[in-house]
Amino acid sequence: MSLTITKVVARDARFPLGPGAGSDAVHLDAVYSYAVCELYTDGEEKGSGLAFTVGAGNELVCQAIEFLAQELVGKEIDELMADFGEFQRKLSNHTQFRWIGPHKGVVQLALGAITNACFDLWAKKKAVPLWKLLLDLSTEETIQLLDFSYVEDVLSKEEARVILNSHVIDRHKRENVLTDNYQGYDTSIGWFNYSDQKVRDNIKKSMAAGFTSMKLKVGSPDHERDLRRAYMVRECAGDAATVMLDCNQQWQLQESIEFMMKAKDMNPYWIEEPTHPDDILGHQTLARAISPVKVACGEHVPNRVIFKNYLQSNAMHFNQVDAVRVGGISEFILISLMSRKFNIPVVPHVGDMGQIHQHLVLFNHIAMGHEALFLEHIPHLQEHFVHPCQIVDGRYITPQEIGASSDLKCLQADNIRVAI
Amino acid sequence: MSLTITKVVARDARFPLGPGAGSDAVHLDAVYSYAVCELYTDGEEKGSGLAFTVGAGNELVCQAIEFLAQELVGKEIDELMADFGEFQRKLSNHTQFRWIGPHKGVVQLALGAITNACFDLWAKKKAVPLWKLLLDLSTEETIQLLDFSYVEDVLSKEEARVILNSHVIDRHKRENVLTDNYQGYDTSIGWFNYSDQKVRDNIKKSMAAGFTSMKLKVGSPDHERDLRRAYMVRECAGDAATVMLDCNQQWQLQESIEFMMKAKDMNPYWIEEPTHPDDILGHQTLARAISPVKVACGEHVPNRVIFKNYLQSNAMHFNQVDAVRVGGISEFILISLMSRKFNIPVVPHVGDMGQIHQHLVLFNHIAMGHEALFLEHIPHLQEHFVHPCQIVDGRYITPQEIGASSDLKCLQADNIRVAI
């Protein structure tokens, strides 16, 4: 049975948060927002794909989606996905639109939303959750989803095949994660604008809810404030807890080294986005200087080429690629394969609030042997999803609903601000 | 006398070109377009700033300009420029808008147009050409224009001061360039879609017009076609001519090495944009592999942080920073200072058709001792500027009109498509 895309609509969905929630050193007043690509079809199913922003400019991503996605109209979804890597290569290299990226910023966010909508629609047609769709693909079908251009010097198609094939034999062992569920970590204990008292209260609530890993936002011009809070979190959470620090790009390189020298005794699991996300060699320098403290980054790295350079430079210990920042699920998988080659764990940033990524980490673990570490959890938008992720005892319950878990309630009911 | 900005308007100006003109391996159907930032004031003067695109998406840059530039309304131009580096730092780090960059793509193009409009207005207020405005600044006034954040590990303010101050004493010698005029090179002999015969005819015309340096577009899937044309250009132009090849990002890394091994006997002066502009380490590998052929890139490098990594990696021999791609004239100057430290010549890409860059290369040469090499020349939009650059005997005649030479006729007459 065929399912053909008949219309593309982009929707601008913005969700103001509670006081202080979502704040970090750089994004002080985040309004969590999605540029949503909706694919209407000649059947019952509708595909939904997300790109994430923090408010202003979300409308530009929506316009870019509507422009780029016209190529999808008239395409049958199974046929499209059978050669999606080549389709995406062409789409991302539009002879005029490419100039205003290339492969970064607004145009790349749009590509991500479009790609994610295609995967959601594909899973819905097959009537399976996204993780199952991906796990059921043959190695060759997976390879056909990916655009290897500009990274083949580091990961050829043949190397990608070998990674996938070599993990088939012991897959069944790793499938335990489907019933054990995937561990989460809690980002919402320590937003930048939260008071010390609120952070302490949140830690207690978080640990009572089963979390053993959590994150504090740092990057204040007042280093003493950040240090005090970092040690406070350690004291409050106890020595057994995993505590990460996140600077959201605020520091200069030297400043980040100096800070981490002072913070290392609270035993941070990683420092996240210590400086500008384009500064690959800066991260390399930092990673050497603050060892054994580890460096995590990737949420603002827009494409596979820059990830390639990060991995080649030993400039990241944890790869935080986000499928709603790069060109969507397919580029996420390609970057995960590259990262696997370099033995760098993928611990996604969840611009999608973990809705899509809960599927992707299962795939990464089972199909390519990525360590099942933990997945970021941010609850603030949970109520807005048709099938919100379920966290029990600090673990993501493996989703059983069909699709990529990215349908928003508001777009069904039209009861919130949607600009387009 | 004060001059205060009262209103900001963004205009979408697009100029279809003649058959084949502007075509390259990636941008096959370029429509040369400007997202123009216009600053209206309480005086007679109006500032004009350009960002360049090749058509689709130009409207997104215009919208980003209108959003970001609201911060300018009410600002007095001299006061604004007295501390422009700090103003630009804040503007480029808008707490929400930053997310959809940061410092790249649509938001960075918008920042460039806004910045360029400020400099144009400032020069108009002082009633001098941009090059003279810049040369008349003290070292400290120049430093205050620049945002050093994220690059101070490689270029501190103090190092920038030293570069500028150390070039004061012999400035008068280099000021000869103002009367000698700055050499141009001709990009328009060999657009990708031009036939062999047209390329040969163009070379003859170009050399008759006084050019001794020219560029051929390569990057075809048919390497034999490119090689044949490269050797043809050499034969037609003669051994004394300077011939550059430009791939516009089309090649994979291995492919670029293989091609350049075959092309090196036609003695190319450089290979430009051999592969993806984000692939710093790829350019480093290539630069080593094809030596003594040199690598030029930068027209798609969006900010100082990535240029910093390129320079640190010895991955470019010629720095082609474009003031209508990065965050405008001030970031161009900062990147030029970094490049000077590394002794890498700045040979700008001219998204502005050389209108603004004819001023900037004079400043780079006189104020910081950058070699006066040559500046790209593309004539296709010349008729559309109020004060088009003048090329005589293959040299840019030093402009004497006030401002940054970026006023477009059409925006005065409203006689072409302007969407906003």
pLDDT in tens, chain B (420 residues): 899 999 999 999 999 998 888 999 899 999 999 999 999 999 999 999 999 999 999 999 999 999 999 999 999 999 999 999 999 999 999 999 999 999 999 999 999 999 999 999 999 999 999 999 999 999 999 999 999 999 999 999 999 999 999 999 999 999 999 999 999 999 999 999 999 999 999 999 999 999 999 999 999 999 999 999 999 999 999 999 999 999 999 999 999 999 999 999 999 999 999 999 999 999 999 999 999 999 999 999 999 999 999 999 999 999 999 999 999 999 999 999 999 999 999 999 999 999 999 999 999 999 999 999 999 999 999 999 999 999 999 999 999 999 999 999 988 754 344 443
Alpha carbon of B327 to those of A389, B41, B109, B243: distances in Å? 40, 22, 7, 30
Q: Would you call A86 exposed, middle or buried from its count of C-beta atoms within 10 A (0-12, 13-18, 19+)?
A: middle
DSSP-assigned letter for residue A33: E
Length of chain A: 420
Respond yes or no on whether the N-terminal peptide bond of residue B388 is cis (omega within 30° of 0): no
Which of B17, B60, B252 has the highest number of chain A CBs within 10 A, making it the mutation to test binding with A? Answer: B60
- Considering only CB atoms, which chain B residues are within 8 Å of A61? 100
Inter-chain residue contact A309 with B57, CB threshold 8 Å? no
Which pLDDT score, from 0 to 100, does residue B411 have?
86
Tokens of B181: 């005029």
Alpha carbon of A323 to those of A207, B8, B291, B340, B389: distances in Å? 28, 36, 38, 39, 46
Inter-chain residue contact B96 with A29, CB threshold 8 Å? yes
- Considering only CB atoms, which chain B residues are within 8 Å of A150? 252-253, 275-276, 279, 282
**What is the SS3 assignment for A167?**
coil
Distance CA B133, CA A383 (A): 57
Inter-chain residue contact A94 with B56, CB threshold 8 Å? yes
Tracing tokens 């933990």 back to the chain, one arrives at A374
Nearest to A32 by CA among A40, A24, A43: A24
The beta-carbon neighbor of A106 closest among B100, B277, B308 is: B100
DSSP-assigned letter for residue B18: S
Torsion of Cα atoms, B51 then B54 then B57 then B61, to 10°: 0
- Considering only CB atoms, which chain A residues are within 8 Å of B30? 95-96
Distance CA B48, CA B46 (A): 7
The fold adopted by the segment(s) B171-410 is TIM Barrel (3.20.20)
Please tell me the distance in Å from A35's CA to the nearest CA on chain B: 11
Where do you find CATH 3.30.390.10 in chain A? 5-127
Inter-chain residue contact A95 with B28, CB threshold 8 Å? yes
Q: How far is CA B141 from the centre of its chain?
A: 23
Distance CA A75, CA A3 (A): 8
DSSP H or E run through B100: none
The beta-carbon neighbor of B100 closest among A57, A98, A303 is: A57
Class level of CATH domain A171-413: alpha beta
- Considering only CB atoms, which chain A residues are within 8 Å of B253? 150, 152-153
The beta-carbon neighbor of B275 closest among A98, A150, A309 is: A150
Class level of CATH domain A5-127: alpha beta
Number of CB pairs, chain A paired with chain B, less than 8 A apart: 179
Cross-strand pairs, A76: A4
Distance CA A11, CA A38 (A): 8
DSSP H or E run through B30: none
On whether the CB atoms of residues B73 and B9 are closer than 8 A, the answer is no
Contacts of B72 (CB under 8 A, 6+ apart): B5, B8, B39, B80, B114, B118
CB atoms within 10 A of CB B401: 14
DSSP H or E run through B288: helix B280-289
